Chains A and B, each alone.
Chain A
């Protein structure tokens, strides 16, 4: 068992770490390169945020790849394209609830790694149980007793959960311990320089994860003023005191979906996952060209745009606009991208 897993359920260590974090409103802005270099250490456990390919911190994941971090342990609830780290020694093992792209199928590097025995699966979870492990950490309880996973092979292949009897009713329950990952990286719509973070769309497990994790990096589409956050705290899901770094990374979820801003680059994602990552060699080739061969996220997007012969970001924004209208966000979303480039009213009228 890796060192990262020993720490994963250690609530004393997690508390000691957090007692040392500053509560002060401190300017935590830095470049993504700096944040990854200083906060992600080889061997860390790193938990998936958002919903893998929806509001996933893809720019940060590719930066982890560029910096050739080693032996990370993934917590996949669900997990996605970052499993490609495995081909370069970046991902040693995983705690798995789900790794895949829904209807688009399996993700080859993960599948290959597990089948070959090079990628260790430390524990098998359901989404519900894993979300409760993180929620337990946030709620400050040692464990929760739930009704998921009972009677199945998940119980047999997860050394951390236990079956027990409810002391009141005597019926079987599955005990899920509080989980404290080493690192969590979030991609959000707005953050202030202290780390207070606002999103649109589903928060999934993010508030729980932000409190559970020891080290927290926030990447955002746009830095906003603290006045902005304080005057409208309703969609703020991460408080500043747990955040260690704030990085402004527009289009940081590409090629994933950023609710209200841009949709998946589904064509690219499908091609990569199904075709370009089909073999270990082809995955390495892709990774060397697009990740290791580019200096940052924007050079990668530029490369993809040139090959596609189109402005992929505009394309994704238009796709998103197909599903959005002003009422979705209450106030509309002028200015989300920093510029008045959101002609959603026109598009919404024409679309569908």
Chain B
């Protein structure tokens, strides 16, 4: 392999992009998920369609936007619906993938974006759900992106803002949730998925320069580490070229 130089964020954008299939609809927020989605659209998924919670559907990518609602986001969208409509359409089955962030994610893929510590006496008050709860409740597959630190991946989150597998197998169904739940977790150390039987987080691949042992050390619960974990493929020259020249030429997000 050649010595391709890339930043950690560039790797994450490439990993995110590879998880999107052509023809899928992707409920997306700003930042790295959007960069990943646009990279996918310019590489292998030209028919990928983005959905934003402000109501914009399938806008043309042009300039990387700063908000899920601003005019750079909605550029040339063929239709701009309302907030309740796009979530309704997700429930109806028009949203394949949802991208989420958050302060904490636990071993069952539950996400906290509300508070650190006790809800009524929070150590840190965070933003709150926004559309995250709806995306995870209604989209078919959910991808989480975030930093990998023990306090960010605790055994149980301080507050469940956004449902993963709740407390284990069958819980989503019992709660009446619609979508398939958490599917992938992309961090700066590796890519995780979920064990089909136990619904617990498992390692799929570790990023170049990292080992499964390191990932376990940076995880606040016991991670399932199967024998067949592999190294995350590095960004290709083509991916990096498109990322740097077309998707994020000013390096706003992939610095």
Contacts and interface: CB of A to CB of B under 8 A. Distances in A.
Q: Which of B72, B134, B171 has the most CB of A within 10 A?
A: B134
Nearest to B127: A100
Contacts of A76: 128
A202 B132 contact: no
A114 B162 contact: no
A53 B121 CA distance: 28
Nearest to A266: B66
Among A110, A126, A134, A320, the most chain B Cβ lie within 10 Å of the Cβ of A126
A202 B69 contact: yes
A105 to B, nearest CB: 8
B84 A150 contact: no
Size class of the B contact interface (CB-based, 8 Å): 35 or more
Interface in A98-112: 98-100, 102-104, 106, 110-111
Contacts of A51: 54, 67-69
Interface stretch (A1-9, A23-31, A203-211, A295-303): A203-211
Interface string A127-159: 111011011000000000011111111100100
Given A99-B127, A103-B31, A148-B138, A153 B91 contact: no
Given A117-B121, A128-B83, A151 B69 contact: no
Interface string A83-116: 0000000000000111110111010001100110
A264 B70 contact: yes
Contacts of B137: 126, 128, 147-150
A257 B67 contact: yes
B125 A115 contact: yes
A208 B54 CA distance: 14
B163 A115 contact: no
B159 interface: yes
Contact of B128 (A97, A205, A264): A97
Interface string B235-255: 000000000000000000000
B159 A153 contact: yes
A128 B84 contact: yes
Given A151-B163, A204-B82, A97 B138 contact: no
A185 interface: no
B129 interface: yes
Given A132-B84, A205-B83, A264 B163 contact: no
Interface string A150-180: 1111100100000000000001110000000
Given A153-B119, A202-B54, A203-B80, A128 B70 contact: no
Nearest to A113: B125
B145 interface: no
A77 B30 CA distance: 17
A205 B86 CA distance: 11
Interface stretch (A14-22, A65-73, A322-330): A322-330
Interface in B117-166: 119, 121-134, 137-138, 159-163, 166
Contacts of A352: 62-63
Contacts of B125: 106, 110-111, 114-115
A150 B91 CA distance: 13
Nearest to B55: A202
Contacts of A100: 126-128, 130
Contacts of A103: 30-31, 66
Contacts of A208: 82, 84
Given A117-B121, A263-B72, A323-B62, A124 B175 contact: no
A328 B130 CA distance: 28
B172 interface: yes
Contact of B122 (A114, A132, A153, A171): A114
Contact of B132 (A53, A126, A257): A126
Nearest to A203: B82
B71 interface: yes
A131 B63 contact: no
A255 interface: no
Interface of B: 29-31, 53-56, 62-63, 66-72, 74-76, 80, 82-84, 87, 91, 110, 114, 119, 121-134, 137-138, 159-163, 166, 171-172, 174-178
User: Which 3 A-B pairs have CB atoms at the shortest separation, nearest pair first?
Assistant: A172-B176, A151-B175, A128-B134
21 contacts: A100-B127, A102-B30, A102-B67, A103-B30, A106-B125, A124-B114, A124-B129, A127-B87, A128-B84, A128-B138, A131-B82, A146-B91, A150-B176, A151-B177, A154-B133, A201-B74, A204-B54, A257-B70, A259-B70, A260-B71, A266-B66
